[in-house]
A and B are shown apart, each in its own frame.
Chain A
Amino acid sequence: MSLENFLIVGAIIFSIGLYGALTKRHAVTVLMCIELMFNAVNITAVALSRYVTPSAVLDGSKGAAEAVLTGQVFAIFIITVAAAEIALGLAIVIAIYRTRETVFVPDANQLRK
C-alpha cells in the first residue's frame, strides 16, 4: 500500500462530502456531509503522518517522537472538535426548525436581507 492510495481515498471522500454539503437541501444531510469532509481530512492526516517521516526523526534529535505523532494527534483533535461541532450544528438545526418550521437549507436565506 502506498501513500497515494490513502490520499486518493481521502480526496474522493472529501469531494463527496463537499458535493453533498453544497447540494443537499436537508440540513441534517449537510451536517453528515461535513462530517464526511472531516474524516477525509483525518485519513489524509494520519496517512501523511505514517508515510512522510520528518527528517528530525532520522537525525534522532530532540522532540522527534512528537513530530511523528503530530498527524495522529491532529486526527484525534479533529474528531473531538467535530463531535462538539455536530452537537452545535444539530442545536442550530433544531432552533431553526422551531422558529421557521423547516430544516431545508434553501429556506434559511435571511442573509439576503
Chain B
Amino acid sequence: MIEESAVWLILFLPLASFAVIALVIRPFLNRYAIAAGYLTIAAVGGSLMLSIWALGSVEGRGEGTELLWVHDWMQIGAFDFNIGIMLDPLTAIMLVVATAVSLMVQIYSTGYMKGDPGYARYYAYMSLFTASMIGLVLASNIVQLFVFWELVGLCSFLLIGFWYHKPAAAAAAKKAFIVTRVGDFGFLLAIMYIFFNRDSFGGLNPLEITDIHSAATLGLLGGSVATWIALGIFAGAMGKSAQFPLHTWLPDAMEGPTPVSALIHAATMVAAGVFLVARFFPVFEASSTAMNTVAIVGGFTALFAASMGLVMNDIKRVLAYSTISQLGFMMLALGVGAYGPGIFHLFTHAFFKALLFMGSGSVNHATGTFDMRYMGGLRKAMPWTYATFLIGSLSLAGLFPLAGFWSKDEVLADAWRHGELVGQVVFWLALAAVFMTSFYIFRAFFMTFEGEFRGGADADPDTEPHGEGVHLEESPPEMVWPLGVLAVGAVLAGFAVNPTTDLGIVPIHWFTEFLGAHAEDFNIVLAAASSLVAAAGIGLAYLMYMSKRVSAEALSLSLGPVHRILSRKYYMDEAYELYGVERGIYGGLARGLDWVDRAVVDRFVTTVGWFAVNIGGALRQAQTGQLQAYGVVISVGIMAILGLYLFFL
C-alpha cells in the first residue's frame, strides 16, 4: 500500500530535477551540461518505480475505489478549495505510461541531443514537462488539473520552439500555443460554468473531481448542464489532442527536436486530451449529445488526418497525422462509451508511436533529413532501427498479434456494437482510417528503408542537417536501446495486458476490467475483417513503393486535384490564415477594436484635453500680472465672505 508522500514524490522528483538544472546547472555549471541528462534520467526513473508501486497498490485495492488524499488550500466563505491526489486505475496507468515513455525518451535524447548548445535547457524543459504531465494526471481538483494542463501546454511551447533561432520553429511554437489556447478557453469556461452551477451539486464540492463524478452519476446535473460542461471540457481536449478543427498545430509542432515529438506530440501530452475526457467520463455519460459529439469528432478526425498522412513526404509529418488520426480513434472509442478500449488504445499507442517517432529521429540522425524522398535503402545501414520501425509500423497498422491489433480491434468492436446510427457511422469511418493508416505507414516504411539511398541531407535542398550530417550507420547505443525496449512494448503491450483468455498471471481482460469498464468478447469476424483491411493497405503500399507495379506518380497525376488538396492539408492552414487571422482578427476584431480606440477612447481623451486647453485659455486672460488687480479680487472676496458671515449666519 503506497504512502501519500511517495505519490507526491512521483511529482516532485522531476520537478526537483527541473529546479536543479534550471537554477544550478544551466546558469553556473553549463560546462557539465551532460549531468543534466543523467539527473533527469535518474529522476524520471525514480518516478517510474514509484508509479509502478502506485499501480500495484491501486490494483491490490480492487475495482471501483480510488486512493484520495485531499488537503485544504484555502477557504473562501463557505467554499472549500482543495488540492490533493486522486489515484485511481486511470491515473495509475497514465502515470506508468507517462514516466515509462518519458524515461525511454530521456535516455534516447542523450544520444540525439549530444553536443547541442542547449543541452541543459533541453533537459530542464523535459523534466518540467514530465512533472507537469504527472501533476495533470494526479490532480484531485479541477482547478489544480487546469494549472498542470496549462503547464503542459507551456512546456510544449518551449520545446517546439527549442531551436528558436529557426523562424519555422518559433512560428510553430506560437501556433501550437495559440491554437490549443482556443480549446483551453472552452475548458476554462466549463470550470466557470461548473462553479456557477454549484448549487445544483447539493452539498458536494463542485471543483472536486470525485464529487463531479458523484453528481453526474447521481443525476444531480440536469441534461443541459451536463452537456455544456462536457462540451467545454471536450473543447479543451480537442485543442490538446489535436482533434478537428483544432488539429493544425500538431503537424507544425514537428519543428521541435524529434524526442520531443516522440514524448509530447505522440505519447503523453496529446493523450492528455483523451485523459481529460476519460477523467470526466461520468459527465459525458450523462449527456448523449456530448457523447455523440465526441464520437463524431473523433471518427471524423481519424479519417480526415489519415487522409492527409497519405501524401506527406516528411516522415515526421506522416507520423504527426498518424498521431492525430489515432487520437481520433481514442476519442471515438470514448464517444461510443468504450471507456476501457479507448484508454487501452492510448496505452498501446504510446509505445508504438513513441517508437516510430524515435525511429524517425534515428533515421534523421543518419541522413540529416526528414524528407523521405531523399532517404531509401537504410535497411542495411541501420538494421536495429529498421527492425524496430517495422515492429512499430505493424503495430500501428494493427496486425495480429501486435499491441495495436488488440486495442484497435476493441475500439472497432465497441463502435460496431454501439447499436445506434452514430456507432455505425464512426465504425465505417474508423475502418476506412485503418486502411489509410496501414497504407501511409508502410508507404513511409518502404520509402525510408527499401530501395536505393537517395542522398539524404546532401540531396535535400530544404534542410540544414542536424548533428553530423550524412553518415549511413546505426545510431549510438543510447538511441537504439530505448527503441528496443519500446519495440518489446509495441509487441507485448496488447495481448499481455488485456488478453482474451486467462493467462494465469494476467487474468482475462485485465486492463479494461481494471479500469472498471465492461469488456466485450473477442469478435473473430470483426478482427479478421479489420486485419484484411489493414493488410490490403500494406499490400497497396507494397505495390506502389516497393515493387513499383503501380506507379505512384501516375496515380497522383490521375488523382491530381485530390492529391493537391491532400498535400495542401485541405487548405485548412490557408483558410485559418485568411478567414481566421486576416479577415477575422485583423479585418474584423482588430479593425473593430481600432475603431473603438479611435472613436471612443481617443475621442474622450482629446475632448478632455480640449476642455482643459480652452478653459485654461479663458482663465489665462485673468492672469495679468497686475498685483493690484489681484489685490482687488482678494479684498472683494474677503468682504464678500465677511458680508455673508455677518448678515446670513
Contacts and interface: CB of A to CB of B under 8 A. Distances in A.
A20 B558 CA distance: 111
B627 A105 contact: yes
A110 to B, nearest CB: 6
Interface string A102-113: 000110111111
A110 B625 contact: yes
A30 B631 CA distance: 12
A21 B632 CA distance: 10
Interface in A1-41: 18, 21-23, 30
A2 to B, nearest CB: 21
B625 A111 contact: yes
B626 interface: yes
Interface residues of A, number: 13
A111 B627 contact: yes
B523 interface: no
B635 A105 contact: no
Contacts, number: 26
Nearest to A109: B625
Nearest to B634: A22
B628 interface: yes
B626 A106 contact: yes
Contacts of B5: none
Chain A facing B: main interface SS: helix
Contacts of A22: 628, 631-632, 635
B624 interface: yes
A57 B631 CA distance: 40
Nearest to B635: A18
Contacts of B627: 105, 108, 111
Interface string A83-106: 000000000000000000000011
Contacts of B632: 22
Nearest to B628: A22
A15 B205 CA distance: 82
Interface of A: 18, 21-23, 30, 105-106, 108-113
A-B pairs with lowest CB-CB distance, top 9: A112-B625, A109-B625, A111-B625, A22-B631, A22-B628, A22-B632, A106-B626, A109-B626, A105-B628
Given A105-B626, A108-B627, 18 more contacts: A21-B628, A21-B631, A22-B628, A22-B631, A22-B632, A23-B628, A105-B627, A105-B628, A106-B626, A109-B626, A110-B625, A111-B623, A111-B625, A111-B627, A112-B623, A112-B624, A112-B625, A113-B625
Interface of B: 623-628, 631-632, 635
